[in-house]
């Protein structure tokens, strides 16, 4: 009886989340005008390698697939179009995912990509998993050693992640600091907030394995 109540609750939760997600994703992608973040995460790691080794892998398109796939909830990475975007001001303050490419190839390099994330509602109960298809861009500023990751998904989850790189230990190591801000449907907020912080920490703690 108890199990039935729980599973009825979970099923109606899933149904309402799915309906809402479908409803929202049928709308136009209004990023960034309707971007009102309701979850966040901030985390730092230090990698025992110089900036000249770390930045190409974590800061440009060179290591984009491998570092996204470090997350245990990520799968099916594919690189899409590579182009450039011209923005006035700093990259970290810009919203470039929905911007048109610069026709002359000026500005910051931008790599398009897609992949999937699987969010487990109840571990081990596979049919309840929420599979999210994400699409986004990764844009970087070679001079200021900074990159901007922006995604949207078919579950109406929009994410911005700013990644900064700093030399530490007299240049022997690199501090990588990241801040995530994101927006998701109201009903998905508790699970998205928790998953985002857990997955963010887990993924960043694995960054050093890319340099072994």
Ligand X SMILES: *[C@@H]1O[C@H](CO)[C@@H](O)[C@H](O)[C@H]1NC(C)=O
Q: Which residues bind ligand X (CB under 6 A)?
A: 42-44, 175, 177
For ligand X, the closer of residues 97 and 160 by Cβ is: 160
Distance in Å, CB of 66 to ligand X, minimum: 23
For ligand X, the closer of residues 40 and 102 by Cβ is: 40
Sign of the four-CA dihedral 67, 72, 75, 80: negative
For ligand X, the closer of residues 13 and 43 by Cβ is: 43
Distance in Å, CB of 179 to ligand X, minimum: 8
Distance in Å, CB of 175 to ligand X, minimum: 6
Distance in Å, CB of 46 to ligand X, minimum: 10
CA-to-CA distance for 31 and 148, rounded, in angstroms? 15
For ligand X, the closer of residues 46 and 53 by Cβ is: 46
Distance in Å, CB of 143 to ligand X, minimum: 18
For ligand X, the closer of residues 42 and 80 by Cβ is: 42
HSE-CB for 175 with a 13 A CA cutoff: 8
Looking up tokens 């994101």 gives 182
Could you tell me the CA-to-CA distances from 133 to 74, 152, 156 in Å, in that order? Answer: 10, 8, 10
* Residue 150 near residue 97, CB atoms below 8 Å: yes
Which residue, among 70, 60, 40, 80, has the nearest Cα to 146 in the 3D structure? 60
């Amino acid at each position: 009886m108890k199990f039935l109540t729980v599973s009825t609750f979970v099923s109606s939760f899933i149904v309402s989340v799915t309906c809402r997600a479908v409803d929202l994703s049928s709308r136009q992608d209004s990023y960034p005008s309707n971007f009102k973040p309701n979850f966040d995460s901030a985390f730092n790691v230090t990698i025992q390698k110089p900036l000249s080794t770390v930045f190409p892998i974590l800061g440009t398109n060179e290591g984009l697939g491998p570092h996204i796939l470090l997350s245990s909830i990520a799968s099916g990475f594919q690189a899409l179009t590579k182009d450039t975007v011209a923005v006035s001001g700093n990259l970290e303050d810009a919203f470039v995912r929905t911007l048109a490419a610069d026709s002359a190839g000026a500005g910051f390099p931008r790599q398009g990509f897609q992949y999937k994330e699987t969010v487990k509602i109840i571990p081990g109960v596979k049919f309840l998993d929420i599979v999210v298809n994400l699409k986004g861009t990764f844009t970087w500023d070679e001079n200021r050693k900074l990159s901007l990751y922006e995604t949207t998904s078919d579950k109406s989850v929009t994410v911005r992640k700013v990644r900064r790189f700093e030399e530490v230990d007299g240049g022997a190591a690199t501090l990588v600091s990241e801040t995530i801000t994101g927006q998701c449907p109201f009903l998905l907020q508790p699970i998205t907030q928790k998953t985002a912080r857990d997955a963010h920490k887990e993924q960043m703690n694995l960054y050093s394995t890319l340099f072994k």
